[in-house]
Amino acid sequence: MSQSVAPAQAIAGRASGRVPFTKMNGSGNDFIVIDNRPALLAEREIAPFTRAVCRRGVALGADGVVLIEDPRPGDEPADFRWRYFNADGSEGELCGNGAMCGARFAVLNGIAPARCRFLTLDGPVDAEVVPADAGPGLVRIAIADPVPFRPPVTLTAAGRSLAFTSLRVGVPHAVAVVDDADAFVGAADFAQIGAAIRHDPHFTPDGANINIIHVIDGQTLRMRTYERGVEAETLACGTGAVASAVIATARGLARPPVTVITSSGRPLRVAFTPDGDSARTVTLAGEARIVATGELWPEAWV
C-alpha cells in the first residue's frame, strides 16, 4: 500500500504546500482535523495524504483525518459536510468521536453555531457543543437509528470462541460479552483476534469493528475495540460504544442511559430508547479536546 503523495507540491491551496490542521482527541481517538472548504486537498489526494500523515513516529500520527467541507449543490440544509478517512485511507460512513471533534472544530472556527447539523455518508447528524465550563470539550450528537446487519454467530480466532451480535451504527460493529474485557487477552492476542474476526467471511464485504465488553453494573460497561481502517486496537470508539450499549440492553444486561468506559479511561455516554434488537433516538456524548494547531509540511507526506 502506498504511504505517500508524490509529488509533494500536488497538495493544493497555498504556495507553501503546507496544510493547516488541528489535532484533536475524542475520548481517546486522535484525529487530524482540516478545514477543507477552500479545497486544500483535491479528491484524488485525500486517501494517500491520510495514509501518510497518520503514520505514527514519522508523521503527525492519528487514527484518521476529519475534513470539514461546504455542503454540495442539492444537499439538504446543513451547516457543513463532515467526512472521515481512516488511517488506511478508506472513507468511513461515520465515526462517533470524529463527529464530535468535527462539531467542536466547526463551532470554535465560526463555521457553525453551538447547536448545528452536518452531513455525513450515514446521513445528517445533529450536534450540541456544550459550553466549556461544563467540561473539557463536551459534545453531544444525535445519530441515525442502528440497524442489525448480521444474525448472531459464534466465531473462533486464536483458539477462542466468541458469540458476536452485530449492529450497524453508521459502520458495522460486532460485539461479544466476556467476564472481564481487560483480562480477556493481552494486546498482542487481541490484535490477532480482532484482525481475524474483522476479516471473517461472515462480515464480508465490509468487515466489522470488533468490540469486547463486560458489564460493570446495570448502566456501565467496559469496552475494548479493534477498529477496521485503523487495523489495530484503539483507545476508544464512539459508534462502538453505541453498538455495545444497545446490544447489552437488548440482552437484558444493561439499561439506558449507558456509560461506556473506553481504554483511554474516558467515558462515553449513550442514551436511547430500546427498540427490540435496535434503538431509537440515539445520542452519544463524550469529550472532544483540542491538542494542538499548526501546519503540516510537505515533508510529512513524502
* Residues with a known catalytic role: 95, 237
User: Quick one: how far is CA 242 from the chain centroid?
Assistant: 11
Give me the long-range contacts of 10-17 (CB less than 8 A, separation at least 24).
10/42, 10/45, 11/40, 11/41, 11/45, 11/49, 11/298, 11/301, 12/39, 12/40, 12/41, 12/42, 12/45, 13/38, 13/39, 13/40, 13/41, 14/40, 16/295, 17/297, 17/298
| Phi, psi torsion values for 38, nearest 5 degrees | -80, 10
| Phi, psi torsion values for 301, nearest 5 degrees | -125, 25
- Amino acid in the structure at residue 249: T
Separation of alpha carbons 14 and 72, rounded Å: 23
User: Quick one: how far is CA 131 from the chain centroid?
Assistant: 23
All cell numbers assigned to 199:
476479516
Separation of alpha carbons 39 and 145, rounded Å: 32
Separation of alpha carbons 268 and 259, rounded Å: 6
> How many C-beta neighbours within 10 Å does residue 128 have?
17
First to last CA, the chain: 14
